[in-house]
Amino acid sequence: MLPAHTQPPLLPLPAHPPVLPIGVRRAEMVDIEGIVHLVKVHAHRGDVLPRSLRDIEHTLNDWFVAVDQTGEVFACVSLLPYSDRYAEVRSLAVDDRVKGQGYGQAVVAQLIAIARERQIPVVFALTRAVQFFLSAGFSITDKEHYPEKVFKDCSICPLLQNCDEVAVELKLTS
């Protein structure tokens, strides 16, 4: 037996089965169930707004996901256009098992690439994950720059007067 100081350290047992390598792509029909689940979990925590199955189905072309080799959805985000002038980064959620491993940035990078392709001038978000968006190149702005969003969601939110979300935006064209 080795003396105690030369013993190899004990490795902690993983709490979940290991996650297989993950790729990022546009969402497909097969992803809907996984998206619904991720959004539901994060909406329950108050991190994102709820989205119905029907809404997700109808907007599927504007969703991006990170999936593992078995097809399980580990991250999602959607692009919600308001007008020719701007679109919202909406329903961004990463499974707890892979948080902090770059998947949030990866799905947002896909969304930004498609927003550029579609020549959307600005993408914005209302968020508490401000540092995450600053890391992705966004800057802090005033939510009053996005009146359609404020009218649609904020005006019916019980936290309206005590809102702790910060508006962030990324300009994609000069």
Ligand X SMILES: CC(C)(COP(=O)(O)OP(=O)(O)OC[C@H]1O[C@@H](n2cnc3c(N)ncnc32)[C@H](O)[C@@H]1OP(=O)(O)O)[C@@H](O)C(=O)NCCC(=O)NCCS
CB of 130 to ligand X, least distance (A): 7
Residues that bind ligand X (CB under 6 A): 42, 47-48, 92-94, 99-105, 125, 127-129, 131-132, 135
Minimum distance, C-beta of residue 28 to ligand X, in the bound complex (Å): 21
Give the nearest distance from C-beta 86 to ligand X in angstroms: 15
Residue 47 neighbours by CB distance under 10 Å: 15
| Nearest CB to ligand X, comparing residues 102 and 121 | 102
Neighbours of 55 (CB within 10 A): 13
For ligand X, give the closer residue by CB, 24 or 172: 24
CB closer to ligand X out of 92 and 172: 92
Closer CB to ligand X, 144 or 164, in the complex: 164
| Residues in Cβ contact with 66 at an 8 Å cutoff, skipping those fewer than 6 apart | 22, 23, 24, 73, 74, 75, 76, 94, 98, 103, 106, 107
| In the complex, minimum distance from the CB of residue 136 to ligand X, in angstroms, rounded to a whole number | 7
Is there a contact between 104 and 89 (Cβ–Cβ < 8 Å)?
A: no
Q: What is the SS3 assignment for 73?
A: strand
